[in-house]
Structure formats: structure tokens, C-alpha cells
Chain A
Amino acid sequence: MSKFGAQCKVDASLPQPMSEPLPVTIIGGYLGAGKTTLVNHLLRTAQGRKLAVMVNEFGALPIDEDLIEAQGDDLISIAGGCVCCTFGSDLSAALIELGKLPVRPDQVVIECSGVAIPSAIAASVTLLEGFAPDGTVVLVDAETIRTAAIDDYIGDTILRQLADADLAVINKADLVDVPTLSALESWLSDTAPRAKTIVSEHSKVPLDIALGLGATPIQSQQMGHADGLFDSIALPCADPLDGEPLAKALTDPKLHITRAKGFFDPIPDGPRKALHIVGHRWDITDSPPNAPLGIVCIGVKGQFERDLIRKTAKEAL
């Protein structure tokens, strides 16, 4: 038998203002798919967003040297107010410790171990007051995934990981030819049926796609998307609306919305609500009272049609 303990140690604890639960994005995928590279990429492009990275791996925190500001026993500080720590299998205890940090992060990123099942991690996040799962990103090594998926030992684990994905990132896409890539995309539509698939090289997935738009989506959208690969649209939502039909309409695959997040006043009258969309999944939760109205949708440039989204949204309301 075996049990584990948390490894984050934080002494200070300050009362927190009333706010939305901390969004927790889970990054899964087999060894070598590029999870660590993605985490470093996100930290590098965080643009003022304070990320708390939790790593479920054996050993040294895999954070690039130049990002590290200070290194404690189990917790390292990263430029821009980000932190990183490892946990054994006691994720809950590590998250509870994280909640006691003197500075509240904007977002939590969990890098799963190569054999972890993301839905199990997401389920334990739902048990903790103050945290909410915010999408599962599963990375796929374009070169090796098809072989790995039929491996006697780890094949079924990899298939379970993909089945949990909201976003499937085909990584190292530069290493395979076009027919292989399109075959991979159609294979993923079966093996990761819930997921929106995106293609990347060197794990360069834009922050807004991987982690969503943060607590103030309208503001983040106004800052623009640096890499130019992604496009977004803001639906103003000045009038009260019925959230459920809107959410269902926006998750229609033909709209190619990768993520959406924003706030609206519901019909019939009630407190302000938040809408979250990741891949094909949506969720409506309570909103902080004064969150700015409006929903931002983002997706891959080229596939994403602003007019179609506007039209669909209008029809749904």
C-alpha cells in the first residue's frame, strides 16, 4: 500500500476577497508529448497573469532556469508572481496549501504525470471549495501517438487520456507530413470525441486557448492575441438572456469556438452568471456581482467565422 503527502509548504495566509473559484486547467498526455514545454511556454507568455503551476511528476520542477526567480524547498517563484510546486498523489492537500498563498494566483495549471487519467484529477478538483476545473488539455505527439496508442502496456492509458480531452493539441506537427496530420485529425475525432483539436509546434499553444481568457475576458480580448494564429469575438450581452440555449448554440462544432468565457444577466431575473465553454463542453456558474457584461469567444483563425457566430448567438436568444 502507499500514501503520499503534499509538498507545497506556505506559511502566510491572508483572507481572500469574495471572487470566482480559481480556474484549474489540467494538462495531460503521455511522456514526451510536450506538457513541460507547454507549461514553460505558458509561463513565458503569461503577460501579467499569475499562474500557479502544480506538477505531478517525480522530482525536479521542470521549469526553465531563466524563468525562476527564487527557489525554496518545494516551491519555486517565477517572474511575474507565478509559482510552481510538485505534488505526490495528494493533489487536494497541495491545492489547499496553494489557497493559503499570500498572493492569490489568477489561475492554476496542473501538469499531470504521463500515466495520470485527467478526469480523475478534474474530479478531485471539484471537491475543493474555491477551485473549479477549467478545461482539460491533452497533448499528442504527432510522430509517436499512433504507435503508443496500441502499445500493450500504455495504449489503454493513452486512449483514456484522450477521451478526457476538451482540447487535443497535436504537437510536433512539423515533424509529420500533411497526409499523416490529416489522418491523425480524423483519428482524434473518434478517440477524443469531446475535444476540439488544434495543431501546434513546440507546444506553442496560445495562452488564451490553453487557459482561457482569465477573470476579465473582455479586457484580455482588447489586449489582442500576440501570435496572430487565433481570432476572437466579443458578444456584448447588454440585455438579459437565457444562458442555456446560447451555450448549446455556441458549442456547435461548426462554429469552431475553442473557448468562450464571459458574464451575462439571466432571464428570468436573477444574479449575474458566468458562462464557460471549453471545446464542446459548457458550464454556467455564479458570477462575481460586478463582473463586466459580455462573452468572448476565441478560435483558430481561418476556421472561425465572426458573422456566423454572431448570427447563431442572435438566433439562440
Chain B
Amino acid sequence: MKTTVYSAKNIVTMNAQKPDASHVAVRDGRILAVGSSDEVATWGPYELDEQFADKVLFPGLVEGHAHTMEGTLWRYVYCGYFDRMDPSGTTHRGNTSIDAVLEALKAAEAKMDDPDSPLTGWQLDPIYLDNKPVTRAQLDNVSATRPIGVLNASGHILYANSKALELASLLKKGVNHPGIPLGADGLPTGELKGPDAMAPVSVHVGMSGSIADVDERGLRDFARLCVRTGVTTVTDLAAKLDPDSVDMMLRVTGEPSFPACVVPLRFFLGLSPKELVPEVARLKKLSTDRLSLGRIKLVADGSIQGYSARLRWPGYHNGAPNGLWYVTPEQMLELYELALEAGLQIHTHTNGDQATQLAIEKLELALRKHPSNDHRFVLQHCQLADRAQFTRMAALGMSVNLFANHQFYWGDEHYTLTVGPDRALRMNAARTALDCGVPLAVHSDAPITPLGPFFTAWCAVNRLTRSGRVQGEHEKITVDEALWAITMGAAHSLHMDGLVGSIEVGKRADFAVLESDPRAANPEEIKDVEIWGTVQGGRVFAAADV
């Protein structure tokens, strides 16, 4: 049996019993020993690998809420406002004006051979561009002959040119749909809001009906992004997991060079609770070292900036009506009961505090019927929970995965428009969650915001909005707490804390290979920790080579 010992400038273990070490021994993809060179040598002969001698080894990062479809989106034109790194490591400059967006699309258009094939963009966010939607006429300037569609950063709005509307038979007068604004000429302006309005056009702009499911190349590309961001375990939080997609994921993650463990959650859709639970139990048995199946995702409400999240009194700050439920309380309860009974874990998307309240109440009822000591049901996003709710969550054994990045990207809009100053302060209340004893993770929800746990940690530590304002001083957490959240915290939320999340004997040899010790970073600089690559299951992946 071959043992490899890696020496490093420092090994930050996230194991309080031995927080620092200089050597880690790896055998069969697992950690055999951590300590000094003498300590690891007690296990017998080994091969010393000194390639990390000037690096810091840190536990492989765990992203507890992302969507692997980001890998597919990178094949479209990046239209976002912020600089963003693609799977190859190229950083695309942010498009800080509508003109810049149109230029980016034109540049891509110029490179296309087939005159009829669609041009597709993604991640456009007009909130940063004077809050004006991109119009059909503007996109017609890019091309009037090929269909063009640009996805909003939320994934729930599509901007189309005339050709795309024409192909969908929507370039006509008399269109009467709340999601399709009309111009002075009585024709659609090109903005299509909501999945229903988008659907007739999506197929004509190169987006198949099920963009939720990553494709083969997209999954490989997403894994390259993982290497570049130090991530070795990543969730795919709302997967349909039909048989073809499971086969594909098993095959691709099983490739010898696939650098991450993917954790897809089966979306509650298409099957009733009574059918879903046995199906997920069946999927669980198909799990491998790099594809961990057997968890359920339930969506309770919509999004706050889309005004579709369910809020308690006093509702939306701008007077918008309360949001939408995506599940009935009865169905939520039924699914909770059946999953507890079968020992399966559910992650529930709740954005608004009323949705959070409903989930707490229904889980409390379900637990009375099926008492479970360590269910770790997770509320995902849970952006508006208050102290009383965190207290109840702790009492019920729930965990939370907060959307820390939201504070930076949309915190200013939450303050002025969606929820107002009071509740903006308590959004993604990491401090309160920890104080109440709720196990904490924080997430990017990639592709909604970029994958990068150190950036997410920075958001939770600094709580800066895009305009540079600290929003919710009291809810800041420390660098150490944030580092825990992106390793052990996220691992705990997946029941994987015995397997990954720290550099500890017996665990999977998953490391983020860093240029410096993140614990030593100034709180404002934690997002800038340089990442060399990863080690996953004992296999070394240099970002420069993937």
C-alpha cells in the first residue's frame, strides 16, 4: 500500500485537537496521519511529495448550495456586471453599461458562422444599469436576422430580439400577459418575465426546456471552476435526476480525472411525496465516492427581489402583494413526515420569513409523529429569519445555509425597495444563527452569484453591500467562524462532516491548496486568498492545468 506524505508551509486542519501541522500522509485517497514529519513517519514507509512545500493546505471547501448548470451557462455570452472567472480561468470583464453588454454580444456574434443559429447571453442584471431592461430594438442592433436571448441574473427574466419573438409568434399586437410589457407600438418590448413568459421563446434562443439539468460538458466545466475556487465537495441543489441524468452524472464523476464530489439533491417535482421518498432512497444506494445521492430539495416560496417570497407582516416595503407558495402546507407536512420516517434529509428553500415559519411549524408537527434525533433538515437561503425563528430551529435540530452573497449583490435594493431598513439589517443573520446554536453554512447559489467560498465567507464577515455600506454590523461573524461555515459547517449540513470538512485522520484527502493562511488574512481580504488548486480523494489538481 502506497503512502504519500505531503509537506506544506502550514496545514490548517480545522480540527481543534490539532489545528496546525506540517505534514499529512495520504493512503488510498484518505488521510492516514496529520502532524510533524516524525509523527506521520510512524506509519511506515512513504513517498515524500514536496510540491506544496511553500503552500498552505486547507480542508477542501464545501459549497452547500450551488447548481452545476453554471458549467453549461458558460457556453453562452457572459453579460454580467461584475468581473467573473470562467471554467478555463479567464476572467471576463464586467459589463458596466448597456452598451458594454451589446458590444460583448456583437463581438460574439461576429464570430458565428451559421447565420441562423441563436445567440444566447446570460447573467444580465439591469438593476446595476439604471434599472432599465434591455429592449428588443437594442438587441436588434446586434443582429436582426438571428434569434437572440439574454438571461437575467435571476434566471427568471429573458430579453429577446425581434427575430426570437417572431419565431415564437409573439411579435404581434394584442399580447396580453403580465410578464410581457408592450411598447408604444403595441408590440412586446422584448422583456419576458417569469418562466411562463420565457418558455415560448427559450426554445428559439438555444435554451432547451430543462436548463436546470447540467449536461455532460457543463458538469466537467463546472468541476474545473471548483478546482479554481478550492471546492472539493459541491451540491447540485435542485436536480431532476431522471435516469439518463443519473447515468451521465455517474459516468462523468467516475472519470479518473473528475476533480470533485458532487452532491445532487432530488427536486420535489413530478412525483408525489409517497413516490418521491422511495425513489430517493433508491438513488441513495447508487452513491459513489464522487456522487453522493439521497437527499431531497423542496421549494416553499419564490425570491425576495422578485417579490415572490412569502413575507410576514408588514410585507414588502414598496407595497407589493405577498409572494407565491410553490407547495401547499399540507404537502410540505406530508413530505416531511415521510422523509423523517425513511431517514432521508430535506433541504427546504425558504426566502421569506413566512415561508421559514411554515417550514418550522410543519417540521415540528412531523417530528412529533416521527421523532428523529439527528435529521439536520436544512433551511436554504432563509434570508429573513429573526431570532425567535432561529431559536425554534435550534430547538428542533434544524440547520441553516444562509445566502451571504445576497447582502453584497442586492443588499442596497433590499434596504431601499424590497424589505426596508429594519429587515435588511437582519438578512442572512449569521451571528444570530450561531448565537442561537443553529449549525451554519453559507452559500453562493452559483450561478446566481459566483462560486467561491472565500468570497462568501468575506460577505458573511464584512456584510458590505455593493455600495460599500455595512448592513447589519451585529450580524457579522468572525473569520474563524466563516471558515468553519465553508468547511465543517457545510459538510455538517450534508451529513458529511465525518467524511470531509477538516484535515483529520480517516477523512477523505480533500485539500484546498492555498498561497497563504486564510486565518491570518485581514477580514477585508479574506476573499483574496490565492488558490493554487485542490487535492480531491488524494488526487492533485492544479488550477493551471484543468
Instruction: Please give the residue numbers on chain A whose beta carbons come within 8 Å of chain B beta carbons, in ascending order.
Output: 1-7, 30-32, 57-60, 86, 88-93, 113-115, 117, 120-121, 123-124, 126-129, 152-154, 156-157
Contact = CB atoms under 8 A, between A and B. Distances in A.
B324 A115 contact: yes
Contacts, number: 119
B342 interface: no
B199 A58 contact: no
Interface in B185-217: 194-197, 199-200, 203, 209-213
A126 B272 contact: no
B445 to A, nearest CB: 7
A85 to B, nearest CB: 11
Secondary structure of the B contact surface, majority rule: loop
B272 A60 contact: yes
A89 B270 contact: no
Given A3-B210, A86-B270, A60 B275 contact: yes
Contacts of A115: 324-328
B544 interface: no
Interface residues of B, number: 55
8 contacts: A1-B445, A5-B209, A5-B210, A58-B268, A91-B196, A123-B178, A126-B176, A154-B325
The 6 A-B residue pairs with the shortest CB-CB distance in the complex, in nearest-first order? A59-B272, A5-B210, A92-B199, A124-B196, A3-B212, A115-B325
Contacts of A58: 268-273, 276, 331
Interface in B241-286: 267-276
Interface string B349-360: 100001000100
B67 interface: yes
Contacts of A30: 328
A154 B176 contact: no
Contacts of A93: 199, 203, 209
A91 B200 CA distance: 10
Contacts of A89: 195-196
B348 to A, nearest CB: 12
B170 A127 contact: yes
B177 interface: yes
A164 to B, nearest CB: 12
B179 interface: yes
Interface of B: 67, 154-156, 168-170, 175-180, 194-197, 199-200, 203, 209-213, 238, 240, 267-276, 299, 303, 310, 321-322, 324-331, 349, 354, 358, 445, 448
A128 B200 CA distance: 7
Given A1-B238, A90-B199, 10 more contacts: A2-B212, A2-B238, A5-B209, A91-B196, A93-B209, A114-B330, A114-B331, A120-B194, A124-B196, A127-B168
Given A59-B275, A115-B328, A92 B200 contact: yes
A5 B21 CA distance: 49
B240 A153 contact: no
Given A1-B445, A5-B240, A89-B195, A154 B177 contact: no
B270 A7 contact: yes
A127 B195 contact: no
Contact of A88 (B269, B354, B358): B269
B154 A90 contact: no
B20 to A, nearest CB: 39
Q: Looking at B194, B213, B274, B325, which has the most chain A CB atoms within 10 Å of its CB?
A: B325
Contacts of A60: 271-272, 275
A124 B180 CA distance: 10
Contacts of B269: 4, 58, 88
Nearest to A4: B269
A6 B209 CA distance: 7
Contact of B330 (A5, A31, A91, A156): A31
A123 B176 contact: yes
A3 B321 CA distance: 23
B177 A59 contact: no
A129 B326 contact: no
A281 B328 CA distance: 30
Contacts of A121: 196
Q: Looking at B156, B270, B331, which has the most chain A CB atoms within 10 Å of its CB?
A: B270
A124 B209 contact: no
